[in-house]
Each structure stands twice: as structure tokens, then as C-alpha cells.
């Protein structure tokens, strides 16, 4: 099994115009090495970084970010170990103003038995599974 770093996912998803050479390399690698019989591993951390890069660097909308991550989760050529937790985080991300990684943190906390996740982030503090603890 091969793993995919965030930068490979970014180049595959958005850099066809910005850096066509690296896009081609990423696409070729994924098409060659990520198959249904031998999927490539994509960590939850890579998906969180991907969301951050798409939002901050490429100014991709929240809806498009959620759609792209959903497509990666649906791809049988990719293995995401925490796929169901990520899906739950995506549902909350689509419905709130908090960032995707915040929702991933909250769902990992819930899976570990946490009733809520304490935060100083005002946007996250308004979302399900969080408790704002700031002044």
C-alpha cells in the first residue's frame, strides 16, 4: 500500500492550471498506484491539511471543499482509516461556520468518550459537540 501526502492530493485536485507538470505527476501516480485492489492510504491529518490549503491558499468555497473530501472518501481506490468519523465531521462542517479540522477534532473526542470539546474558537463553540469556554 502507498500513502498520499497532502501536497499530492492538492496537486491532483487543483493544480492543473497553476502547476500542470506537478498535476500530471500526481494524477499519474494516483491512477497507477491507487487501485481498488491496492488502495492508497489517506490519513485524516492529510484531509484536514487539504481542507486548510484549499480554503486559505486556493480560496475554495466550503461547499466545494466538503464535496471534494466526500469524493475522496467515496473513492474505492483510497483507504481512509477513520472514514466514518470524517463523514460525520463533514456533515457538521457543512452546517456550521467552524473549520473542518475543528469538527474532526470534536468527532475524535466523541469517539473517545468525550461529551463535548472545549474551545476558545467562537465559531466552533457554536457547533454541536463543542463548548465555548472563552470570556
Burial of 38 (0-12, 13-18, 19+ CB in 10 A): exposed
Mean pLDDT to the nearest integer, 54-80: 97
pLDDT at 5: 98
* Helix H or strand E segment including 63: helix 62-74
pLDDT(76) > 90: yes
CB neighbours (10 Å) of residue 83?
A: 16
3 state SS of 43:
coil
pLDDT tens digit string along 93-119? 999 999 999 999 999 999 999 999 999
Instruction: Give the Cα-Cα-Cα angle 64, 15, 94 (nearest 5 degrees).
Output: 15
pLDDT at 26: 96
pLDDT at 15: 77
- pLDDT band with cut points at 50, 70 and 90 for residue 55: very high
pLDDT at 19: 82
Q: pTM for the complete prediction? A: 0.92
Burial of 71 (0-12, 13-18, 19+ CB in 10 A): exposed
pLDDT tens digit string along 2-13? 999 999 999 999
pLDDT at 105: 97
Cell numbers 468525550 correspond to what residue? 114
pLDDT(29) > 80: yes
Amino acid at each position: 500500500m502507498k500513502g498520499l501526502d497532502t501536497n499530492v492530493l492538492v496537486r491532483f485536485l487543483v493544480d492543473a492550471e497553476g502547476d500542470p507538470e506537478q498535476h500530471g505527476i500526481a494524477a499519474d501516480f494516483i491512477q497507477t498506484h491507487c487501485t481498488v485492489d491496492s488502495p492508497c492510504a489517506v490519513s485524516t491529518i492529510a484531509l484536514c491539511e487539504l481542507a486548510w490549503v484549499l480554503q486559505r491558499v486556493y480560496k475554495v468555497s466550503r461547499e466545494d471543499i466538503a464535496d471534494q473530501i466526500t469524493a475522496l472518501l467515496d473513492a474505492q481506490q483510497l483507504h481512509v482509516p477513520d472514514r466514518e468519523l470524517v463523514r460525520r465531521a463533514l456533515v457538521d462542517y457543512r452546517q456550521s461556520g467552524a473549520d473542518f479540522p475543528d469538527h474532526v477534532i470534536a468527532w475524535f473526542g466523541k469517539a473517545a468518550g468525550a461529551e463535548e470539546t472545549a474551545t476558545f474558537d467562537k465559531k466552533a463553540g457554536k457547533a454541536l459537540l463543542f463548548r465555548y469556554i472563552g470570556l
